[in-house]
Amino acid sequence: MEPRFTMSEQAPQLYRAMAALQGQVRQSVDPVLNELVKIRASQLNGCAFCIDMHTKDARAAGESEQRIYALNGWRETPFFTDRERAALALTEAVTHLGDGHVPDSVYEEAARHFDRTDLVALVWAIVAINAWNRIAITSRTVPGSYKPEEAR
């Protein structure tokens, strides 16, 4: 697989703006939850580069292999808290907007577990990873070479 283009080289100002958004999200959302959201959205979107990146980042943030492996079937496991389940359900609903709107029941469940500020930050996290997925898929970013910041 050959990359089509490198976003940071062809549009550096836009790339920096997107990276700045990601930096703000990183400061606003719990690191482990943020990685779970990124992995789940990336699974749904079929973004191999982002799945590779965020499973590595999740491990670096202290996430267990068991939970990473079970994330694709999170509803069927006892490994996730109610708060994480609400975030994952919201991630799926926002990622699959083509199927309709975010159901009130999904939003209301998330609102039960997150205050308004944290809920808005979570939505930004979901929106950001969906944008990154679309960039990586369209540009054919090749998975495998990413190393978490702690390992660099």
Rg from Cα positions in the chain: 15
Comparing CA positions, the residue from 52, 103, 109 lying closest to residue 85 is: 109
CA–CA dist 81, 89 (Å, integer): 12
CATH of 18-141, one of 1.10.3720.10, 1.20.1290.10, 1.10.10.10, 3.40.50.720: 1.20.1290.10
Instruction: Give the global pTM.
Output: 0.93
The whole-chain average pLDDT of the chain stands at: 94
List, for residues 38-73, the tens digit of each pLDDT value. Answer: 999 999 999 999 999 999 999 999 999 999 999 999
Per-residue pLDDT, averaged over 13-24, amounts to: 96
CA–CA dist 114, 63 (Å, integer): 21
List, for residues 93-126, the tens digit of each pLDDT value. Answer: 999 998 789 999 999 999 999 999 999 999 999 9
How many other C-beta atoms are found inside a 10 Å radius of the C-beta of residue 84? 19
Per-residue pLDDT, averaged over 76-105, amounts to: 95
Q: Give the pLDDT score at 150.
A: 57
User: Residue 152 above 70 pLDDT?
Assistant: no
Show the 3-state SS of 20-65. Answer: HHHHHHHHHCCHHHHHHHHHHHHHHHCCHHHHHHHHHHHHHCCCCH
